[in-house]
Every structure is written in C-alpha cells, then in structure tokens.
Amino acid sequence: MKKSKKEVTIYDIAEQLNVSATTVSRALNDHFSIGKETTLAVKKLAKKMGYRPNTIASSLRKNKTNTIGVIVPWIHRPFISSLISGIEEVADKAGYNVIISQSCDSFEKEVTKAQTLYSNRVDGLIVSLAMETKNYEHFYPFQQNDIPLVFVDRVSFEMEADRVIINNFDAAFNATEHLIKMGCRRIAHFAGAQHRNVYRERQEGYINALKKYNLPVDETLIVYSNLSMEEGWKGTEYLLKLSDPPDAIFSANDSAAVAAIQCAKEAGLKIPEDLAVVGFNNDRISSIVEPPLTTITHPAIDMGKIATQQVLKHKENKDVVQSETIVLKTGLTIRTSSLRKVAIKNSVQGLR
Amino acid sequence: MKKSKKEVTIYDIAEQLNVSATTVSRALNDHFSIGKETTLAVKKLAKKMGYRPNTIASSLRKNKTNTIGVIVPWIHRPFISSLISGIEEVADKAGYNVIISQSCDSFEKEVTKAQTLYSNRVDGLIVSLAMETKNYEHFYPFQQNDIPLVFVDRVSFEMEADRVIINNFDAAFNATEHLIKMGCRRIAHFAGAQHRNVYRERQEGYINALKKYNLPVDETLIVYSNLSMEEGWKGTEYLLKLSDPPDAIFSANDSAAVAAIQCAKEAGLKIPEDLAVVGFNNDRISSIVEPPLTTITHPAIDMGKIATQQVLKHKENKDVVQSETIVLKTGLTIRTSSLRKVAIKNSVQGLR
DNA sequence: TTGTACGCGTTATCAA
DNA sequence: TTGATAACGCGTACAA
C-alpha cells in the first residue's frame, strides 16, 4: 500500500533556499522585483523537487479560475463537437481551461449544469440552449456578477447577453429560393421546435421564400419533429403518401435530409428528378450520401472561436458593457440532390 | 458601470442568523448534527440571499476537486466525441465535472495539457494518446500521487495504469478473414502509425489472417498514412495503378475506407465486385456511403463510461492497487461493400 | 530586492 | 446540537 506523499508547496522550496514563500511565489511568476539569480535558483529547485503549482489555491486567492464553462445539448453531434473544438482552441491559446457539460436537451439538466459551473466560478460561460429551455433565470447569477455570458447558435433574445449566430432566416430563404429556381413548386419543410430561434427562423425563411414567388404555404407540407434520421424517414413516408406529394424537401438539418433521400430512393423515386432535397449544416454525411446533398454551410468551428473571443474580450476590457450579437455568414453548397432542372434536362436529352 | 457586488458567503448567512459559519456549512451539507429547524432556516436564508457555494474554496480545503481531466487527440472525431459523451454521462451521475483538452496529436501539447490538469488537481485522468507520443513521463506525477490514470483506445503498455481497449488484433483478423471468405486473394491494408497500439495491432491481425490462409504478405499492398480521406483517396489511386492491383482493401478506419470506395467508383470499378472494402469504427458515414461499408463496431460510448467507472472505482476503493486492462468486444457489421461473393454470383446470374 | 502578515471561502478538529 | 480556531496553498499590501 503506497503512502501518498505530501505535495510540494512554495513553502517547501522557500525553506530549502532560506528565502520567504513570497519570494518563491514571485520568482515562479517571473516578478520583476526578484533578482535574476534568485529566480533561477527557485525555478531550478522547484523543478528538482517536482513542484506543481496548485491552481486551486491560486484561483481562490486571485478570484479567477482561468476556466470557461460550456453547456451544449449533445457533445457528439457533428456541429457541436466542431463548435467545442473551436472553443477549446482559442481558450487554450489564452491560457484558459474548458469545462464541458451536456444538457441532453433537458431544461432541468441545463439548470443544474449552470449552477455547478457557477459554483466552480468559471470566468465565462458559453451556452447553446437545450431544446426544452424557455426560461432563463438560471443564467441570472452570471449576469449579476459580471461573468461574461455568450450564447451560440441556439440563443435567447430575451436576455442581455452576447450572441454568436448565423442568419438562419437568410440561409433558409436562399435554400428554398434555390429549390424554386430549380423548378420545384411544392416544397415541403422538415421543421424543428418553434420556440428555438434556429428552427423558427429557418421555417420563416422557408415561408417567406414561398411567398415571394407566390407559392402557396401548405401546412400539410410542414413536418415538425426532432429532426433525427428516424423522424426524417417517417416524415418522408408521410409526405410521399399525400394525394399531392411534394417535389422537394427543405430540411432544417442534414440527418433528416439524408434519411429523406434514402427513404425516397427505397420508394423508387429518383433524386433530384422526382424529389429534390436540401439540408442544413454540411455534416460529413451530406457529401457522402448519394446523390450528394445540397446543404447550408455552418461555420461551426469559427462560431466556437468567436464565442470564446467574446468571453475573453469582456474579461480584458471591463468597460465593454453593452452586449453584442455577431451574425456569421452561411453559404449554400449546391450538390446534386437539388439540381432538378439540370437533372431533368439531362434525362430528357438522354444523357447520363 | 456596474459595481460587481461581493458574493454571498457562509459568513454572511451566519451573521444574519446569529449562528456560526460552521453551523451554516454543516447545515448546507445536511450534516446530521445540526437541528432540523436550524438546517431549514439556513437553507431558506441561503436561497433568499442568493448564496452559491464556492467549489474552489471547498476543493482547496478538502483536497478534492470532483473533476476528471480528459486528454484526447481531437474532440470532433466521431469516435472521440462519442467517447467523451460516455465519460461525461458517468462523471455527471457521480457528481464529477469534466475538463476536456485536445492534444491535436502533438506530443508537446499533450505534455502541457497533462501538466495543466495536474495543476488543477483533477481527481482522475483519462487519456487517449496523441499520435506522436512515445514517452510517458508527463504522466508520472499522476501515478506518484495516486491519481487514477486510465488510458482509452490509444494506450501505453509501458506504464502501470488502467486501460480500456478493444481487441484490435481480433477485430482486424476477423475483418480480413471475412474478405478472404468472400473470395478476395490480394487484400491491401491502409495502416496507421505503428508505434500506436491500435494501428499496430490492426496490421498484425491483418497479416495473421493472411498467413492463416496461406496468402502472401505483400508489402506493396500495405499503405501507411494518417488515414484521412485525402490519404485514403491517394492510397487507392496508388493501389489501382499497380501492375497487379488488389481485389480488396481493409482500412484501419472508416474515413480512408469511404474515400477508397469513392475513388474506386470514379475509376470505374464496381464495389464490391472489382474491389471489396472493409473499414473500422462504424462512423455514421459508413452506413451512408454507397454501397454501405462493412466495418468494425467500436463501443465508443461504453469505453468512455467504463474508463470513467475505473477512475471512480479507484477513488472509492483506495485498496485497489493493481491496474486493470479491460478489453471490450467488437463486432463485424457486414454491409454491401464487402459482399463480393454474393455480388459476383448475382451479376453472373443476371440478377439485380 | 526581499520579507511579514493576512485573507480568499470552506471544512476538519477539538472543545463546549 | 453548536462554536472557536486553524488550515488548505497561494498572492498581495505594506513594510523594511
């Protein structure tokens, strides 16, 4: 049975060198007031003794943890894991750690996680809201104590806080307009929960595009779900059974869109000739599915980076009081799944 | 300019209630020695005053942070993000936080991250090694201070530490044997860095399967790379240009395997008739690509869960001294990309 | 250039 | 059932 040794502290080093703990502390932090030689000697001995600074003690004293808290719905979603990657990169460069929490799209869990992170005295909090969340009081403590709070992607407009988002409305509008220009006239939509900004705005973009081109908005063509592959498959089955089925689907994410392609193909339809499909996110599967999926490009990593920069900005510059909303650009990556006009033309000419 | 208020401490509560801070501390932690009424009164006032426990102070005093550190090569890889998901889930249930760090496959970064996590006095460390890492001294401090250290997937056998792995050898052997049974005779292999256990063992499994069936081991058919899609594509081009090209590829991951399928298809080959392909990991793309990819099932989430349980086990049970190596089962998920026999038979009979 | 003394917020220990 | 006191390891006024 190993006896775990006591850890080395600055006092141990001080004792050996016959200096004060203060001097050791300063030397280790390269304080200018400490002599070159002393500093060197301290560092040398520290290394030799296997000294490891105790961040906990330092944090308590300095009232600063150098840690950024993150709450996301699910870590393993492609968009989210890229987001985290961006957060971690910028945080790391600035000397910050990152504590990650999943809300699992549950309001209750989100509340608990927020409290825990607050108790851990994180220096900033980055949040992408849970599906269920409609109340934001659990973030008040952060606001009240001037802890930078940044929402990403799934945000709240009911709170004073920084936001890093994309223009979901425009993206969805462009996607839908693209389908219209490809000759589609009955365009269905896979929609998400409408109290979450991202899904509401995507639906609004879709509807406005239809209106601009004087196409009817048919509620039977709007399918609400959690946008999983399963729901995408079911939604497609439902749509294809309609007496007047759609000639296109604009899905609020890629998973459901890919499922739509697979389901329609199994039903004997040709993509995009019989059914054009556009997704959202540019997940890796979107370029692998056949035909490749036209989709909206989401700058996930950049969103993480920028959100983190916002946190850091507030830390450095205490004067920054007003909150900012940063809107990032999206792109429409056109692949085969939506090229109905071209596809139809080719097949008429007997090409391919 | 908002003046940030002072945070509420147990002293503030104690003062208001005319009790000692000790009593407040105990009441908040439901210590049995404190009276029902006092406890209730303390909790009520704490809530009213907006008290939030300071985990930092508690950690310093208790010498326990309730935090598990994690170092992984890249957060956004499907396997890794699932792994993290599993870690987070179990840690959360046990009341632990998780600090995540990426090594970006760099040795230097891994060392820095390990030091930082140590300084943060994490109660346990879970590591999946960086590609570059060949030296393990940066983990000594954890061992020496009895901080549970668990390696996952990419592990070191040169250190006394817990390991959670899969049987890469068997998985690769089965994959290769499957190809042989499908009638393949010249099977190529996409291999990774040989000093990392996972890639070395996969290659060994591949070689041993060939030997078992008296097939020659042809070094020109083994392509070493980082197993990215780009490298998978290049590797396939190289293989197809050989004077005696392979009739199958067993890739050490799915990315390179999917690229192989796409490259071969573009070159006019039929999968699996002209080239059978098997991958490794069961990433989402493997079931989306066409034809769907036969691949090895990796219990990523479970590996994360189990690794975390190992950490907790060591915390609870200080007697557990010897380290454990837990080997999880893999499966071979057979999809179309490897069904050469069936495919050939069907095409001969003019089916499909 | 270095040292003294104290406090960060909590909890363990001992005493009442 | 409650309280006084010290201690966790470090950083910072202030003094020398």
At A320 the pLDDT is 65
Query: What is the least distance, in Å, from the CA of A72 to any CA of chain B?
Result: 11
The answer to whether the B10-53 and B168-298+333-351 domains have the same CATH topology is no
B61: nearest nucleotide, CA–C1' criterion: D8
Residue B22, CB, strand C, below 7 Å: yes
For residue range A275-319, what is the model confidence (pLDDT) as tens digits? 999 999 999 999 999 999 999 998 999 999 999 999 999 887 766
Rg (chain A; Cα; Å): 27
Residue of B nearest to A63 (CA): B56
What is the 8-class DSSP label of residue A6?
Answer: P
Rounded to whole angstroms, the Cα distance separating A310 from A126 reads 10
Residue of A nearest to B262 (CA): A288
Half-sphere exposure in the Cβ direction for B119 (13 Å, CA): 19
- In sequence order, the β-bridge partners of residue B310 are none
Q: Do B145 and A5 touch (CB under 8 A)?
A: yes
Structural domain spans, chain A: 10-53, 65-166+300-328, 168-298+333-351
Rounded to whole angstroms, the Cα distance separating A39 from B224 reads 48
**Which residue in A7, A67, A289 is closest to B145 by CB distance?**
A7
Chain A contact probe: residue of B2, B3, B28, B56 with most A CBs at under 10 A? B56
Among the CATH numbers 3.30.420.10, 2.40.50.100, 3.30.565.10, 3.40.50.2300, which is that of A65-166+300-328?
A: 3.40.50.2300
- CA–C1' span, A62 to D7, in Å? 19
- CA–C1' span, A31 to D10, in Å? 15
Residue A348 pLDDT greater than 70, yes or no = no
At B3 the pLDDT is 37
CB pairs under 8 A between A and B: 137
Rounded to whole angstroms, the Cα distance separating A198 from A255 reads 16
Rounded to whole angstroms, the Cα distance separating A191 from A251 reads 7
- Give chain C positions with protein CB within 7 A: 1-5, 7-13
**Which residue in A54, A82, A118 is closest to B119 by CB distance?**
A54
Residue A287, CB, strand D, below 7 Å: no
Rounded to whole angstroms, the Cα distance separating A275 from A179 reads 10
| Chain A residue numbers touching B88 (CB-CB < 8 A) | 75, 100-102
pTM: 0.91
Q: In this complex, which residue's CA is closest to the C1' atom of nucleotide D5?
A: B22
A22: nearest nucleotide, CA–C1' criterion: C3
Q: Which amino acid appears at position A291 of this protein?
A: P
Residue of B nearest to A8 (CA): B145
Q: May I ask the CATH class of domain B10-53? A: mainly alpha
At B30 the pLDDT is 93
At A14 the pLDDT is 94
Instruction: State both tokens at A117.
Output: 């992170």
- What DSSP letter does each residue of B187-223 carry, written as one string? EEEEE--TTSHHHHHHHHHHHHHHHHTT----GGGEE
Rounded to whole angstroms, the Cα distance separating A160 from A142 reads 11
b/e string for A254-292 if b means 16 or more Cβ within 10 A? bbbbbbbbbbbbeeebebbebbbbbbbbbbbbbbbbbbb
Instruction: State both tokens at A250.
Output: 């604009």
| Chain B residue numbers touching A92 (CB-CB < 8 A) | 101-102
At A351 the pLDDT is 37
Neighbours of B327 (CB within 10 A): 12
Q: In this complex, which residue's CA is closest to the C1' atom of nucleotide D3?
A: B20
| Chain A residue numbers touching B5 (CB-CB < 8 A) | 144-145
Residue B27, CB, strand C, below 7 Å: no
Average pLDDT over residues A223-245: 97
Q: Do B53 and A7 touch (CB under 8 A)?
A: no
- CA–C1' span, B17 to C16, in Å? 20
Query: What is the least distance, in Å, from the CA of B56 to any CA of chain A?
Result: 6
Query: What is the least distance, in Å, from the CA of A106 to any CA of chain B?
Result: 14
For residue range B230-245, what is the model confidence (pLDDT) as tens digits? 999 999 999 999 999 9
At A352 the pLDDT is 32
List chain B residues with pLDDT less than 70. 1-5, 318-321, 343-352
| Chain B residue numbers touching A71 (CB-CB < 8 A) | none
Residue A36, CB, strand D, below 7 Å: no
Rounded to whole angstroms, the Cα distance separating B126 from B153 reads 11
B63: nearest nucleotide, CA–C1' criterion: D8
Q: Do A78 and B76 touch (CB under 8 A)?
A: yes
b/e string for A163-180 if b means 16 or more Cβ within 10 A? bbbbebbbbbbbbbbbbb
Residue A4 pLDDT greater than 50, yes or no = no
Helix (H, G, I), strand (E, B) or coil at A288: helix
Spatial CA neighbour of A329 closest among A153, A164, A166: A166
A61: nearest nucleotide, CA–C1' criterion: C8
Chain A contact probe: residue of B67, B121, B271, B288 with most A CBs at under 10 A? B288
Sequence-distant (6+) residues with CB within 8 A of B283 are B78, B79, B253, B254, B255, B295
Q: Do A145 and B5 touch (CB under 8 A)?
A: yes
Chain B contact probe: residue of A8, A65, A76 with most B CBs at under 10 A? A76
At B341 the pLDDT is 78
Rounded to whole angstroms, the Cα distance separating A109 from A87 reads 21
B268 burial type by CB count under 10 A (0-12 exposed, 13-18 middle, 19+ buried) = exposed
b/e string for B48-63 if b means 16 or more Cβ within 10 A? eeebbbbbbbbbbeee
Average pLDDT over residues A258-268: 97
Ramachandran angles phi, psi of A12, nearest 5°: -65, -40
- Helix and strand numbers (H, E) in chain B are 14, 12
Residue A34, CB, strand C, below 7 Å: yes
Sequence-distant (6+) residues with CB within 8 A of B6 are none
Q: In this complex, which residue's CA is closest to the C1' atom of nucleotide C11?
A: B61
Spatial CA neighbour of A78 closest among A331, A350, A286, A319: A286
For residue range A186-221, what is the model confidence (pLDDT) as tens digits? 999 999 999 999 999 999 999 999 999 999 999 999
At B344 the pLDDT is 64
Residue A54, CB, strand D, below 7 Å: yes
Rounded to whole angstroms, the Cα distance separating A70 from B127 reads 21
Residue B336, CB, strand D, below 7 Å: no
Q: Do A4 and B145 touch (CB under 8 A)?
A: yes
Give the residue ranges of DSSP H helices in chain A: 10-17, 21-28, 36-49, 55-62, 78-93, 107-119, 140-144, 168-181, 197-212, 229-241, 254-266, 284-288, 300-316, 340-348
Residue A115, CB, strand D, below 7 Å: no
- Helix and strand numbers (H, E) in chain A are 14, 12
Q: Do B118 and A52 touch (CB under 8 A)?
A: yes
Q: Do B260 and B319 meet the contact criterion of CB atoms below 8 Å apart?
A: no
Rounded to whole angstroms, the Cα distance separating B139 from B118 reads 9
Residue A35, CB, strand D, below 7 Å: no
Q: What is the 3-state secondary structure (H, E, C) of B80-128?
A: HHHHHHHHHHHHHHCCCEEEEEECCCCHHHHHHHHHHHHHCCCCEEEEC
Q: Regarding the domain delimited by A168-298+333-351, which CATH topology (the fold level of the hierarchy) does it fall under?
A: Rossmann fold (3.40.50)
Residue A35, CB, strand C, below 7 Å: yes
Sequence-distant (6+) residues with CB within 8 A of A88 are A98, A304, B75, B100, B101, B102
